[in-house]
Amino acid sequence: MTSNSIESVAVIGGGPSGLAALHALKSEHSFGKIRLFERKSEPGGLWVHDDIPEELPLLTSEKISKPLAVPGNLPGKYPTQGFPVGFKSPAYKYMESNVPEPLMSFSYAHIKEVCSPKSVELLGPNHPFRHIDVVKQFIQDEFKKYIGMVQYNTSVERVFKRGDNWILILREINKDNDGHDYWYEESFDAILVANGHYSVPNLPNVPGTQELQKANKSMVQHISSFRNVEDYRDMKVLIVGTGISSTDFVSDILPVVQKPLYVSVRGEVPRKDFLDSFDGNSSLSLKPGVKSVHLSRDREHFNATFTDNSTLEGLDKLVFATGYIFDFPFLSDEEIVVNENNRIENLYQHIFKIGDPTLSFIGAVIAGISFRVFEYQATLVARVLSKRTSLPSVEEQIKWEKDLLEKRGDLHTFHVVPPDFKVYYDDIVRLAGPANGKGHELEPFGDDWITILNNGRNLKLKYWRRN
């Protein structure tokens, strides 16, 4: 690489954000080498369903996702270490998108207008949400355009700078089906991280959870393990959290659980979607934060104490609907820091490492309108790397982060896009500039987008309120 050119780019992650990255990079016709590495055997990310969920590890204060030790001699084959934490998808068989079409698609490629029979019963014909299988097929069909650029069954174990180049230490999992992984390294001029943020669960450190897990590992779970409502039939359940995943989950299991269904509110009030869906529902009982849990005398149930010192006894299941963390185990703190509040530090526009735009991230936002936000971010990254546009000065980038910190605080909500959709999207459009014959034009955020989102939310409220 010369000081003025980026010739090779690595993309980490084969979900929709990685797909958007491939499209944007290829459209520039500027890079001699574009490679995407995906640890699964097929593309799709969280839209690839796993029948058996990932087992929740014993809950401690330590991170559950840790980098593997790198062998001393590379390249080489070593006994397989299997798949990393977060490998399995949190999706379930009947899952539907929460983002309405046409915004769920890319502007240049649309998901088929197919509605599942179950969703038609609940939401009517021609509704804007799509079943997991339809979304998965769309992603996999689009990936066929980039077959020569994609390598599956490959886990990225380390990413670091060596001089001006980025080094990836890669592990091909059980490469020759002989129980061994093949470890090696490759060099690139730029790295685009697109590994999503619905893999590693965010798990509060509630005293007593280890005791429950040791007695019965199924007593404590994260919502990412949900697969079937029948797993909760006639159970006395306590859910922690009131976000969008909790809202979906509660609406599904409410008919089968023992009433009332208890929900612990982590903040002062439930999230808006949850409140609008279940306010006044006598089948739910809201509780404050969980202070501690401990086994009942029969060791088959558990009791919970809350921050107001109220208690519940004889509970069957503790479900953390507490979201996920940003997880980049392949990057050291020298490259990027995800702090204890789950905020990625030192990122401009939630995309570029400040001071080094050769390290960028796609999808490191919350509620940003998937897949459309991936398209916009990836387009900007590709145009910056191809030198067709440039970023503001480092000082201006630092000021952008500082200003947003003052507004949002040093929390994971720093990465939440709404209600500032228009500001964020228009900033991306402005920075990316015109297509000029490469790729496509990025449309400014329009009032019709808000209408589509609001109409979609109203339909979802109908779904959530059905029970």
pLDDT in tens, 213-244: 999 999 999 999 999 999 999 999 999 999 99
Going by their DSSP bridges, the two strands 356-361 and 190-193 should be labelled as parallel
- What pLDDT score was predicted for residue 304? 98
Return mean pLDDT, the chain: 94
Q: Is 304 helix (H, G, I), strand (E, B) or coil?
A: strand
Query: Please, which pLDDT band fits residue 289 given cuts at 50, 70 and 90?
Result: very high
Query: Please, which pLDDT band fits residue 4 given cuts at 50, 70 and 90?
Result: low
- What pLDDT score was predicted for residue 266? 82
Kind and range of the H or E element at 180? strand 180-188
Q: Report the alpha-carbon angle 463-455-440, nearest 5.
A: 120
Q: How far apart are CA 429 and CA 426, in angstroms?
A: 5
Q: Do domains 8-200+334-457 and 209-323 have the same CATH topology?
A: yes
CATH homologous superfamily of 8-200+334-457 equals: FAD/NAD(P)-binding domain (3.50.50.60)
- 209-323 CATH choice from 1.10.1670.10, 3.50.50.60, 3.40.30.120, 3.60.40.10: 3.50.50.60
- What pLDDT score was predicted for residue 1? 44
Confidence (pTM)? 0.95
Check: CB of residue 277 under 8 Å from CB of residue 459: no
For residue 403 the two structure tokens come to 């200003």
Q: Is 359 helix (H, G, I), strand (E, B) or coil?
A: strand
Q: How far apart are CA 135 and CA 129, in angstroms?
A: 10
360 pLDDT higher than 50: yes
Map out the domains of the chain as residue ranges: 8-200+334-457, 209-323
Q: Is 218 helix (H, G, I), strand (E, B) or coil?
A: helix
Name the nearest CA neighbour of 182 among 150, 141, 142, 154.
154
Q: Is 250 helix (H, G, I), strand (E, B) or coil?
A: helix
Lowest mean pLDDT among 52-56, 186-190, 194-198, 438-442: 52-56
- Number of residues that this document lists for the chain: 467
Q: What is the mean pLDDT of residues 355-372?
A: 96
- What pLDDT score was predicted for residue 2? 44
Q: How far apart are CA 381 and CA 24, in angstroms?
A: 8
Residue by residue, DSSP assigns 389-443 as: S-PPPHHHHHHHHHHHHHHH-SSGGGGB-TT-HHHHHHHHHHHH---TTSS-PPP
pLDDT in tens, 137-193: 999 999 999 999 999 999 999 999 999 999 999 999 999 999 999 999 999 999 999
Q: Is 369 helix (H, G, I), strand (E, B) or coil?
A: coil
Bigger pLDDT: 466 vs 11: 11
Q: How far apart are CA 372 and CA 376, in angstroms?
A: 6
| CB-based contacts of 224, cutoff 8 Å, min separation 6 | 53, 54, 90, 198, 201, 324
